[in-house]
């Protein structure tokens, strides 16, 4: 692995909880092997562009890494309905590249979700979601010939990490985010990978609540992965 750091980075206000500050340990990585990325995921790191980061807040431990054990995953009734609702979509594994359709969808998604006025360009999108280490793939979701969503996955020998998911804001009723998690679990199952990493979960953050709706899930607590029960 080739990197500069680690270094302790102060981020200021927490992006998840309004009354907290946020700090992280960052690794700026130029090269990392798949098995090394696996170890970083198991240690609670998350990728953003070429950076791998892990929360390091001195007085708060609300950000908890979460992952799904693939073979044990059982969708709930509402999740099964979402699965059936979206069976008219085609899901294709495609190369990682910025296409006009993906860039347009990404811009619309950011504008709707975050009320973002300025539109990201190709370089910004590539810097955030591109293939940094030769271990990234994209799943496209198509309704007929129309691209309605895409998900970016980092892949290791044992697992996959859900980096980011973008969907058409006009199709909110389809709950494509929920559908994408189940699709990614299925991709892991077919390729014989044991876990799907969902990044961080913050109990009091409504935008992250959906991650804990998937059961059973495992949380990284005090350096050990602890499984939450199906009936929680």
Upper half-sphere CA count for residue 16 (Cβ side, 13 Å): 19
Residues 85 and 51 occupy one common structural domain: no
In the prediction, which pLDDT does 4 show? 57
Which of the listed residues 34, 62, 90 is the one where a domain comes to its end?
A: 62
Q: For 41-53, what is each residue's pLDDT tens digit?
A: 999 999 888 888 8
Residue 105 in any domain: the answer is yes
Residues 210 and 129 occupy one common structural domain: yes
Q: For 31-77, what is each residue's pLDDT tens digit?
A: 888 889 999 999 999 988 888 889 888 888 899 999 999 999 999 99
Instruction: Find the range with the poorest average confidence among 4-8, 163-167, 188-192.
Output: 4-8
Instruction: Find the range with the poorest average confidence among 109-113, 138-142, 215-219.
Output: 109-113
Q: For 126-157, what is each residue's pLDDT tens digit?
A: 888 888 788 899 999 999 999 999 999 999 99
Residues 11 and 85 occupy one common structural domain: no
| CA–CA separation, 198 and 177 (whole Å) | 12
pTM score > 0.85 for this model? Answer: yes
Question: How do strand 2-13 and strand 21-31 relate by DSSP bridges?
Answer: antiparallel
Q: Give the range of the structural domain holding residue 31, as residue numbers without chain letter.
A: 2-62
Residue 200 in any domain: the answer is yes
Q: Would you say residue 125 has pLDDT above 80? A: yes
Residue 122 in any domain: the answer is yes
Length of the chain: 232
In the prediction, which pLDDT does 121 show? 87
CATH number, domain of 204, equals: 3.40.630.30
Residue 232 in any domain: the answer is no
Phi, psi of 40 (to 5 degrees): -65, -40
Which two three-digit tokens encode residue 90? 């085609």
Integer angstrom CA distances of residue 72 from 24, 53, 75, 135: 31, 28, 10, 25
């Amino acid at each position: 692995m080739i990197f500069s750091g680690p270094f302790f980075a102060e981020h200021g206000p927490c992006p998840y909880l309004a009354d907290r500050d946020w700090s992280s340990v960052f690794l700026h990585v130029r090269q990392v092997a798949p098995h090394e990325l696996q170890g970083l995921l198991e240690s609670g790191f998350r990728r953003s562009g070429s950076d791998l980061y892990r929360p390091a807040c001195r007085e708060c431990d609300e950000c908890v890494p979460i992952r799904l054990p693939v073979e044990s995953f059982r969708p709930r009734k509402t999740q099964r309905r979402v699965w059936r609702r979206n069976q008219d979509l085609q899901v294709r594994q495609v190369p990682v590249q910025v296409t006009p359709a993906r860039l347009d969808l990404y811009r619309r998604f950011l504008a709707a979700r975050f009320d973002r006025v300025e539109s990201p360009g190709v370089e910004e999108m590539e810097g955030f979601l591109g293939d940094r280490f030769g271990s990234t793939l994209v799943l496209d979701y198509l309704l007929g010939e129309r691209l309605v969503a895409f998900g970016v996955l980092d892949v290791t020998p044992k697992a996959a990490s859900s980096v980011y998911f973008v969907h058409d804001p006009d199709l909110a009723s389809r709950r494509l985010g929920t559908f994408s998690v189940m699709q990614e679990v299925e991709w892991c199952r077919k390729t014989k990978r044991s876990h799907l990493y969902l990044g961080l979960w913050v109990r009091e953050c409504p935008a992250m609540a959906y991650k804990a709706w998937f059961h059973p899930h495992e949380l990284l607590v005090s350096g050990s992965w602890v499984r939450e029960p199906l009936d929680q």
